[in-house]
């Protein structure tokens, strides 16, 4: 049986495109969602493949359900839900979130999601760096945890290159809409101190 590290190494040689070497990574910032972001967030919430990579199976994705999801995520006590915005034109490229915050032990679970057109250009790395700063500063967390599907080798390579450590592998932990089960990797990293 191959280990997660072996699978990441093999998969990355096999199918993970490298970031283009020309040009600078996009300048991004994290901000609260606005009504102008609804269409982008709705598109992402309705993307079943993306949601399955985020370990989510939304029950409904009509406009009312999506508006309730945005409100619920935005009002999560102790957590955060922010739009990843392109600093050039303020358009939404995706979102980040911190949820399941444990106040006493000062950790929470983070995640990022990008539109397909924003992937592979450095926006994910920039967004995760911003999320770590937000988690350590604004939220006062000492550690950020990530749950990542084991077959999401692009995300795993990014997180490992940023200093996240694998602390566990949960066998058949996530079941998608069709009932297929996936292993999930648990990672952690200390947040920067303000």
Residue 27's closest CA among 159, 154, 122, 134? 122
Are residues 78 and 139 in contact, defined by beta-carbon separation less than 8 angstroms? yes
**CA angle at 129 for the pair 124 and 131, rounded to the nearest 5°:** 90
Residue 167 CB contacts under 8 Å (≥ 6 apart), including other chains:
186, 187, 188
Q: What is the reported pTM? A: 0.87
Q: Indicate whether 15 pLDDT > 60.
A: no
> Does the structure show a pLDDT above 80 at 25?
no
Cβ contact 146:131 at 8 Å = no
Render pLDDT for 137-186 as a digit per residue (tens, 0 to 9): 999 999 999 999 999 999 999 999 999 999 999 999 999 999 999 999 99
* CA 100/CA 81 separation, integer angstroms: 12
More confident residue, 3 or 77: 77
> Tens of pLDDT along 82-122?
999 999 999 999 999 999 999 999 999 999 999 999 999 99
Q: How confident is the model at residue 4 (pLDDT cuts 50, 70, 90)?
A: low
Are residues 96 and 130 in contact, defined by beta-carbon separation less than 8 angstroms?
yes
For 95-104, what is each residue's pLDDT tens digit?
Answer: 999 999 999 9
* Spatial separation of the C-alpha atoms in residues 44 and 41, rounded to whole Å: 5
Widest distance between CA atoms in the chain: 48
Closest CA to 94 of 110, 82, 79: 82
Q: Contact, 83 vs 130, CB < 8 A?
A: no
């Amino acid at each position: 049986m191959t280990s997660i590290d072996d699978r990441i190494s093999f998969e990355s040689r096999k199918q993970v495109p490298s970031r283009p070497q020309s040009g600078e990574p996009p300048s991004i910032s994290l901000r609260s969602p606005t009504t102008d972001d609804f269409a982008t967030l709705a598109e992402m919430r309705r993307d079943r493949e993306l949601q399955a990579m985020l370990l989510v199976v939304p029950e409904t994705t009509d406009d009312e359900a999506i508006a309730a999801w945005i409100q619920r995520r935005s009002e999560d006590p102790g957590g955060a839900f922010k739009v990843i915005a392109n600093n050039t034109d303020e358009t939404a490229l995706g979102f980040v979130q911190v949820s399941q915050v444990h106040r006493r032990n000062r950790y929470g679970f983070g995640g990022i999601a990008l539109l397909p057109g924003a992937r592979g250009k450095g926006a994910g790395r920039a967004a995760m760096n911003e999320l770590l700063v937000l988690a350590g500063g604004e939220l006062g967390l000492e550690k950020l945890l990530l749950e990542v599907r084991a077959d999401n080798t692009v995300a795993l390579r990014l997180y490992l290159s940023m200093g996240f450590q694998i602390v566990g592998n949960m066998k058949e932990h996530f079941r998608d809409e069709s009932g297929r089960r996936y292993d999930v990797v648990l990672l952690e990293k200390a947040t920067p101190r303000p």
